[in-house]
Structures are given as structure tokens and as C-alpha cells.
Amino acid sequence: PADVKDSDPKHIIHVTAEMAPIAKVGGLGDVVTGLARACLSRGHTVDIMLPFYECIQKQHVKDLTVITKYNSYHDGNWVPTNAYRGVVSGIPVIFIEPSNQFFKGQYVYGGSFNELEAYLFFSRACLEWMQQVTSTQPDIIHVHEWQTGALPLLYWDIYHHLSLKPRIVLTIHNMEHYGECSKEQLSKSGLEGSVYASIDKAVDDRTIGHNPERLSLLKGGIVYSNAVVTVSPTYLKETLCTGWLASTLLRNRDKYYGILNGIDTTMWNPATDIFLPVKFNDQKPEGKKFCKYYVQRGLGLASEGTQDGNHVPDITYKAPLVVCITRLVPQKGLHLISHAIKCIEELGGQMVILGKASDVQVETEFECLAKLHNQGPCIRILLMFSEELSHMLYAAADMVLVPSIYEPCGLTQMIGMRYGAVPVVRKTGGLADTVFDMDDQSNHNRANGFVFEGIDEGSLNCALDRAFMYYREKPDEWNGILKKVMEVDNSWNNTAGKYVELYNSKSVRL
Ligand code: ADP
């Protein structure tokens, strides 16, 4: 429950490249904000340290003030740096702003500065601020992804002797990005790069393509953190079996944990969501019908409602609306997403894709699909990032599609469920831990969606066919699933306690 207070409150500082909603690209931003809020409400002290990206909209930060001006080391120089304090969505944030070009640009990632060097700088600048400049003594420094993977190395190498002894926890949200780094680049942070260039430290240890010159900040983070977490139990198993970090993770198995992410129910609550035209919840789901109608009208999709919203057809209206809200990258099953368009059109449903591509070729491919379909009555492909639209789409959707090739945890299926959208997912990673098939007799109690295993189009067809069949021909059962998915508790209330246990555990020592 939300009012649990932990008996031994800790001071936790997250050091991260993303935070929702001000600097969010994907799930990392949501997770940091949600976990921080859950720990705050359990009585802990929590701060988030974030680069002061130029693209952050300052009006979303309350009480923004410069608190410290200091210098932090990078590449032979001490860079003048400002630390600001502010409050974002109720959570205290410390923003680190170097006076050089780092973190300038229109977006969180992809600016014209060297990203690897910028995050090396940031990792050190956070430690410098905590340990040297302000003597802040957190119990836990919680780092995330490769971007802050060098922080544990810097801590043990340079700062350890200065301070009380914080424990360092690393959460890996996605193994795909491992922060490839040369010795020379690592040396720019003030570490001696060659010291870390061995297999037991930070060197890339894959057998094929092994390169003794290549270091990985993620691997360094794994070796030098007190505890390492990944974001679902199934992804933990997958990462121990395959991928080049498998051997490193196996060697560190006794400090490696799988903790399922939660969703931040303050941000994701259909009963209070400021972006929805009508609010609803599991007790009063009627508003959802209007949200669907509203989105259909807004996007020019066929609908059976009328302008005043009073004659919206009930849920038995026969064109289910499927949404897919995603970064458009290979991990997400691009060929299955584009195949779904065809399949859903043939089945007489509607589909809205809200997606942002970072690769030009992928963007062009989806632009072509958008040109082909966006004038018709049943498909909309919206190539942008929009927090506001994402909320409206979850609320409008009958189903949320997540056909990922791999998925460490996945938040969209969980958010979808809370907003009354039934998940149709591929059985992988966190999707396998949160969605259970309606037709799986052995697990009927937990059944809450439609699951397929193959990465071929036929497997997807089969799952969509079954979902459409339930929607159209078994309205009672469909309403039953709807009620069930809205009631599932995938919130941090349910799972933050596992992180707190880890923050408290004394068993792992370097
Ligand atoms: P990942 O972290 O791999 O991107 P997750 O499912 O863990 O995937 O988290 C995705 C988060 O990003 C969700 O909050 C989702 O709503 C949001 N999101 C993804 N793409 C978009 C988009 N184009 N516009 C708005 N929100 C998006």
C-alpha cells in the first residue's frame, strides 16, 4: 500500500541520463521518476542528479535555483560547472550544467557534442559535487545504464577515501547499449584507462570479435557496483544465457538481481489524467468509450459516435482500436509492427502507431507507410514523440500491441492495462512476466491478454485473430478481461520494496 513507511530510511541519489517528464526518451525516464517517488513516499530521502540538457523546459521545474558553482575535471582541464536545485513532479532534482558544449541541442540524445565524453564528465561531476564540494553523504548512489557506468570506477578509484561509504547500485535497463570506450577516452575522466583494460575489469570479453583495446562502461559498472539489477526476472535469465555480457554477469551472479519495473501511478492514472477529455477508472469505465470516440474523431478515423458525445456506441462497436506506442528501433519488432497494419486493416480494426525513429532509413520506411495509409479510415501512423498523445491513445485503445524481439521489461503493456487496453505481446523478457494468455488453460487465473512466441508474421496474425475474436464474439469475456487488466497492480507500490530490501542488504561487499 502507498502509505507503507520503511523503518530504516536511507538517502538515495539517482545519477541518470533521463527523468520523466522533463528529459524522457523511453522507459528509463519513467522508471527513475516512479522509483524515486515510491521511495520518497516510503520515507526515504531521494535526489535525482541529471545533466542540465539545453532542451529541458525550465517552466516544468519548480523553484529552480543555482546552489553551487564549482569546477569538475575533464581531459586535463577543470571545467566551470553550475549545480542547480529544483523540483520536478514533486521530486528533488540536482541539475549539472557544465560551461562547455556538453548537453546542448534540441534533444536529450544526438547532440553535436561527444556523448561518451559528456557522460564521463557528468559521472565525475556528480561525484565531485557530492564527495568533494558539498560533502553530501548518501547511503546509496543508484546509477543507470552505460551513461553512468563509469561512476563506480571513479568512486573507488578517486573518491572512496574521502567519504562515508555509500553503496553503489547499477540498474541495467537494456543490455544493447554498452558504452563502448577506448582507454584514451576513459583517461579523459581522470582515471588511468590502461588500468581498466583487462578482462576482469572493463575490457570487452566477447570471444568473437574480441578487442583488447575496447572497454565497456556498462561492464565496468557491473564489476565495480555493489549490486546490479536488471528490470525483470525473465530478462535476467535471458541475459545470463546469451549476449556478450553473459559471462561477466555469470561471474557476478551473486550480486545480480531481477526486479520488475513498476509504473508511476501518479503520472499514469486514468481517473486523474489531465490529458484525457473524460476521466475513468475500473469502477467507472464508461469514460473510456468517450476517449476512444474523441481520438477517432480527432484523428479522422471512422467512428459511430456523434458530436455531442452522448450517443457514443457502447463497447460492442465492432472495430477494435489497437495502439502501438514505441521507439521505432529493431528491438521493438519493426517488421511485425508494419505487418500489424496490414493484418488489422484486413480484420476490420483500427490502428494508431505513435513512434519516433532515430534512424533515417527506418523513418523513411514509416513515412512511406504513413503516406499510404493516413488518408484512409482505419490506420494512423504518427511519427513523433508526444507525451500528451500517448496518454490519450492508451485511454482510447481497446488493445495495446507490443511485438518486441526482446524487451527487458516494457512499460507500455503495463500502462495500457491500467488504461483498459488489453495487451497483445510477444513472449519475451518483462512481457513474459506481466502478460498471460487468455487461452492458456494452465494459468487461467492470471490470464490478462494475448501472447505469441514466434518472430514471424503468422504468429502475430494468430494472436491478433484470437484477440479480435474475443472482442467481437465473446463480449462478456472481453468485459471480464477489461476489468481484470484495469485491476492488476503493476505500480511501484508493489515492487519498490524489492529495491528497498536491496538498499538495506549488507551481504554484498566488494
Ligand atoms: P523503452 O524504454 O525501450 O523505450 P518501455 O516500454 O520501457 O520501452 O518505455 C517506453 C516509454 O516511452 C513509455 O512511457 C511510452 O509511453 C513512451 N513512449 C515511447 N515512444 C513514445 C512516443 N513516440 N511518444 C510518446 N511516448 C512514447
**Residues 313-338: pLDDT tens digits?**
444 457 999 999 999 999 999 999 99
Tell how far the Cα of 23 is from the centroid of ligand 1, in angstroms: 12
Confidence of residue 354 (pLDDT cuts 50, 70, 90): very high
Distance CA 125, CA 132 (A): 10
Per CATH, 11-262+493-504 and 287-489 having the same topology is answered yes
**Residues 434-449: pLDDT tens digits?**
999 999 988 889 999 9
The pLDDT of residue 213 is 82
418 lines ligand 1 (CB under 6 A): no
Distance CA 39, CA 46 (A): 7
Tell how far the Cα of 136 is from the centroid of ligand 1, in angstroms: 33
Percentage of the chain modeled with pLDDT above 70: 96
Average pLDDT for 131-152? 96
The pLDDT of residue 210 is 76
176 lines ligand 1 (CB under 6 A): no
Query: Parallel, antiparallel, or unpaired: how do β-strands 91-98 and 45-51 relate?
Result: parallel
Q: Please, what CATH class does the domain formed by 287-489 belong to?
A: alpha beta
The pLDDT of residue 507 is 57
Domains in the chain: boundaries: 11-262+493-504, 287-489
356 lines ligand 1 (CB under 6 A): yes
The pLDDT of residue 2 is 55
**Does 221 score more than 90 pLDDT?**
yes
The pLDDT of residue 443 is 85
The pLDDT of residue 316 is 41
**Residues 362-420: pLDDT tens digits?**
999 999 999 999 999 999 999 999 999 999 999 999 999 999 999 999 999 999 999 99
261 lines ligand 1 (CB under 6 A): no
Lowest mean pLDDT: which of 91-100, 129-138, 461-470?
129-138
The pLDDT of residue 508 is 53
Q: Please give, one letter per residue, the 3-state secondary structure of 364-402.
A: HHHHHHHHHHCCCCCEEEEECCCHHHHHHHHHHCCEEEE
Confidence of residue 204 (pLDDT cuts 50, 70, 90): confident
Confidence of residue 510 (pLDDT cuts 50, 70, 90): very low
Average pLDDT for 4-9? 90
123 close to 51: Cβ distance less than 8 angstroms:
no
DSSP β-bridge partners for residue 144: 171
CATH superfamily of 11-262+493-504: Glycogen Phosphorylase B; (3.40.50.2000)
Query: Parallel, antiparallel, or unpaired: how do β-strands 77-88 and 62-74 relate?
Result: antiparallel
**Mean pLDDT value across the chain:** 94
The pLDDT of residue 313 is 47
The pLDDT of residue 298 is 97
**Does 104 score more than 80 pLDDT?**
yes
**Residues 28-84: pLDDT tens digits?**
999 999 999 999 999 999 999 999 999 999 999 999 999 999 999 999 999 999 999
| pTM for the full predicted model | 0.94
Q: 149 burial class (0-12, 13-18, 19+ CB within 10 angstroms)?
A: buried
Strands in 301-458 per DSSP E: 321-328, 350-357, 379-383, 399-402, 422-426, 450-452
Q: Give the DSSP H/E element, type plus range, for residue 11.
A: strand 11-15
Cis previous bond, 51, omega within 30: no
267 lines ligand 1 (CB under 6 A): no
